[in-house]
Structure 1
Amino acid sequence: MAAPVEKKVTVGTIGAYLGSVGLLAILTTIQGDAGLIDPLPDPTEPFVLALIPTAITFVSGWAAKHTPRA
């Protein structure tokens, strides 16, 4: 019998999805005005932007409780 998926994994996955969707919405909004990311050097922009959904995933997974094991 397969083990149940832990709540931490489910919450982290949902957090990653919502963080990515939110990031895409923000990027679509600022597409014409890149003032928010102008201070960053061009090669670092994708890495800094990738930290947003990563941080959301980490925090949501950290905050979720473990699935109890019998």
Structure 2
Amino acid sequence: MNESPADAAETRLTAIETALTHLQHELSQMHSVLLAHTQELAGLNRRIEKFEGRLERLSEEPEDSDPRAHKPPHY
């Protein structure tokens, strides 16, 4: 059962088109994941900036060296 050259070319073309379709699907999925990760990173960067701002404000406040200056909440 030998395939004719035209049949062989058709089989090969079908295999290439199938592979291309799978690659396009995977690329689309990867793009979606990349967008989700980009959004997550942006959110994490905002949180980091917020915490850095808090740390800066805390470091600018004068420290009380007297531990008696701050009473525990139960007093």
Give me the TM-score of the superposition, normalised by structure 1: 0.39
Give me the TM-score of the superposition, normalised by structure 2: 0.37
Q: Which structure is higher in helix share?
A: 2
Q: Which has the higher contact order (CA 8 A, sep 6+)?
A: 1
Greater Rg by CA: 2
